[in-house]
Amino acid sequence: MRLSHAFGAFALVALTMAHGAFAQQATDAHAPEIASGLTDKTTVHAKEQMVAAANPLAAEAGLDILRKGGSAADALVAVQTVLGLVEPQSSGIGGGAFLVWYDAASGKVTTFDGRETAPAAATPNLFLNEQGEPLAFFDAVVGGRSVGAPGVVRLMETVHKRAGKLEWQTLLEPAIRLAEGGFTVSPRLHALIEDDRGRLDTQPATRAYFYDSDGKALAAGSILKNPDYAATLKRIAEYGADGFYKGPVAEKIVAAVKAHDGNPGLLTLDDLAAYEIKEREAVCAPYRGLEVCGMGPPSSGALTVGQILGMVSTFDLGSLGPDDPESWRIIGDATRLAFADRGRYMADSDFVKMPKGLLDQDYLKARAALIRRPTALGADDVTAGDPPWDKAELRMDGMSLEQPSTSHFVIVDRDGNIASMTTSVESAFGSRQMAAGFILNNQLTDFSFAPDADGEAVANRVQPGKRPRSSMSPTIVLKAGKPLHALGSPGGSNIIPYVANTIIALTDWDMNMQQAIDLPHLTNRFGTYTLEAGTRAEEMQNDLDALGFKTSIGDLNSGLHGITITAQGLEGGADPRREGVAVGD
């Protein structure tokens, strides 16, 4: 069942999108063939410092801070505040983030949880209608009901206080200058504004900002200024995070949340003032002699990535290679089994006692044994397992719909500190509400809309002060205690297979970071194997069908960014499906 034309090893031709048509271009040996959404990307090399981010303006702002002597903690403030301006559909100060941080001085990895929290007045029935039925997704999203207390600003301040070198005000200057002077609307931003017509243009503030006087989406190439955002950043520059969580900006946030006619929210000034960042121990899992470290609950990212890697580690993927459907049968069914555990057990561990043994190696070997068969697992074979418990609470399976509008960036500074940060407002343009120049998140829709199933509680149900489960998977991979790779991606719950598959490509298939990011996507979370449209992954369809999978062709628009740390320096990669870049010195 091996493909006649390998899309992994020894592929020499990459398809790239150029001026609306496909063009052929030679690329490195071992690089996969893909259909790129924007421009062809090549590996970027640097000696001592690098930023890989989803927009060139944000990446350059971060690098400029590093050149001024700033640390990775300083640069992430500049990167995030510029991203919130130039790609507001994905992340911003009205949203939340998870940060995995490597401290070079101590050699330790830690994580910072800047996830949004549910209002104190929220109940498990937040997303039920008057008949007790779950709301339709966008009926819940658009308006104030879906808005949680944002975490990004407090996260930036917390990390800056811990590891920053430059003055706080300096870090906000790049975004302030761009907001006042204007930036060029990218083709991607224009397309997303146009695609969201009927939601984004129904709210007065977003209609006035994202559409012209004739009601047309802002044209690509036009100059967009945001004086309200600049004013908000100036207040944060003067007063720190309290300038966001208290006072005029906080009042504007609450007013916007409550003002929606049909779908007002519950967020209060007290909810904003009470918001806290939580530093949490990294969740680390072994893989082929490496240590893969990421974000634990309320993210399901590191646990689910770790489970996938733990199961596939019992198979020789290196010998099979990326062009063999057998590799993808193993990876796909391991992903399905890991997602079954995710749906049953994973949620904010401050509220839900979770099994201690989700990454227990004996447990994962037993789960992997289910995959030792010639064909795909049947639907009845894919259920949550029974990991070691230790006073965990039995919960019912729950589903939540995560939309793929997020951003990931990686920063390495000259001292060797590393920031791997995934940041989000949830769906494209979040709640479609703006306040003080920025988009407000809709992260509360990451909770399960149905609070129970068959009379038993769902782990990821809404509760006051709780943080909704996430799939964001910022990751740092260590070898012998030293950082080797840092990576992550947007993509909703597809983030997990994007990151896991990239780590497999880096480790088992000896790809560099750019090649691993370029690899065509094949993901299977809930039973259907989705193959990335316009790529050589489509050629796997007949083989995967023959193995017993249900398959479909679809867009899998990741935004992977990563950096590899070598003895010679740094190697950066940026996803060709988006407009990001890696830059460094």
Quick one: pLDDT at residue 356? Answer: 83
Instruction: Indicate if the alpha-carbon torsion angle 322, 328, 329, 333 is positive or negative.
Output: positive
Q: Give the 3-state secondary structure of residue 91.
A: coil
Q: Is the pLDDT of residue 12 over 60?
A: no
Closest by CA position to 390, among listed 354, 343, 444, 339: 354
Q: Is the pLDDT of residue 402 over 90?
A: no
Amino acid at residue number 315: F
Distance of CA 422 to the CA centre of its chain: 5
Buried b (16+ CB within 10 A) or exposed e, 413-423: bbebbbbbbbb
Query: 124: cis peptide before it, omega within 30°?
Result: no
Instruction: Indicate if the alpha-carbon torsion angle 555, 53, 15, 45 is positive or negative.
Output: negative
Per-residue pLDDT band for 38 (boundaries 50, 70, 90) equals very low
Q: Is the pLDDT of residue 392 over 60?
A: no
Q: What is the average per-residue pLDDT within 275-298?
A: 97
When mean pLDDT is compared across 148-162, 311-325, 351-365, 418-432, the lowest value belongs to 351-365
Amino acid at residue number 443: Q
Quick one: pLDDT at residue 457? Answer: 87
Q: What is the average per-residue pLDDT within 398-425?
A: 85
Amino acid at residue number 511: M
Q: What is the average per-residue pLDDT within 561-566?
A: 98
Per-residue pLDDT band for 23 (boundaries 50, 70, 90) equals very low
Q: Is the pLDDT of residue 511 over 70?
A: yes
Q: Any idea which residues carry the catalytic annotation?
A: 406
Q: What is the average per-residue pLDDT within 123-132?
A: 95
Q: What is the average per-residue pLDDT within 381-399?
A: 69
Quick one: pLDDT at residue 40? Answer: 77
Amino acid at residue number 42: T
CB 245, CB 236: distance < 8 Å: no
Q: Is the pLDDT of residue 427 over 80?
A: yes
Q: How far apart are the first and last CA of the chain?
A: 45
Beta bridge partners of 461: 448
Quick one: pLDDT at residue 144? Answer: 97
Per-residue pLDDT band for 390 (boundaries 50, 70, 90) equals low
Backbone angles phi and psi of 2, in degrees to 5? -75, 140
Confidence (pTM): 0.92
Number of other CB atoms surrounding residue 333 within 10 Å: 27
Quick one: pLDDT at residue 403? Answer: 52
Per-residue pLDDT band for 9 (boundaries 50, 70, 90) equals very low
Q: How far apart are CA 331 and CA 322, in angstroms?
A: 11
For all residues of the chain together, what is the average pLDDT?
A: 91
Task: Looking at 90-216, list the stretches that DSSP marks H as alpha helix, in order from N- to C-terminal side.
Answer: 137-141, 152-163, 168-181, 187-195, 204-210
Closest by CA position to 344, among listed 310, 315, 375, 303: 303
Question: Could you give the C-alpha distances from 118 to 245, 300, 460, in angstroms and in order?
Answer: 15, 18, 12
Q: How far apart are CA 573 and CA 516, in angstroms?
A: 9
Q: Is the pLDDT of residue 487 over 80?
A: yes
Residue written as token pair 């990004």:
152
When mean pLDDT is compared across 1-15, 137-151, 276-290, 541-555, the lowest value belongs to 1-15
Q: How far apart are CA 305 and CA 286, in angstroms?
A: 11
Domain ranges, ordered by start, for the chain: 13-182+225-279+404-584, 185-222
Quick one: pLDDT at residue 13? Answer: 28
CATH 3.10.20.30 at 13-182+225-279+404-584, yes or no: no
When mean pLDDT is compared across 11-20, 211-220, 253-262, 285-294, the lowest value belongs to 11-20
CB 458, CB 398: distance < 8 Å: yes
Quick one: pLDDT at residue 15? Answer: 29
Q: Give the 3-state secondary structure of residue 552.
A: strand
Q: What is the average per-residue pLDDT within 493-511?
A: 98
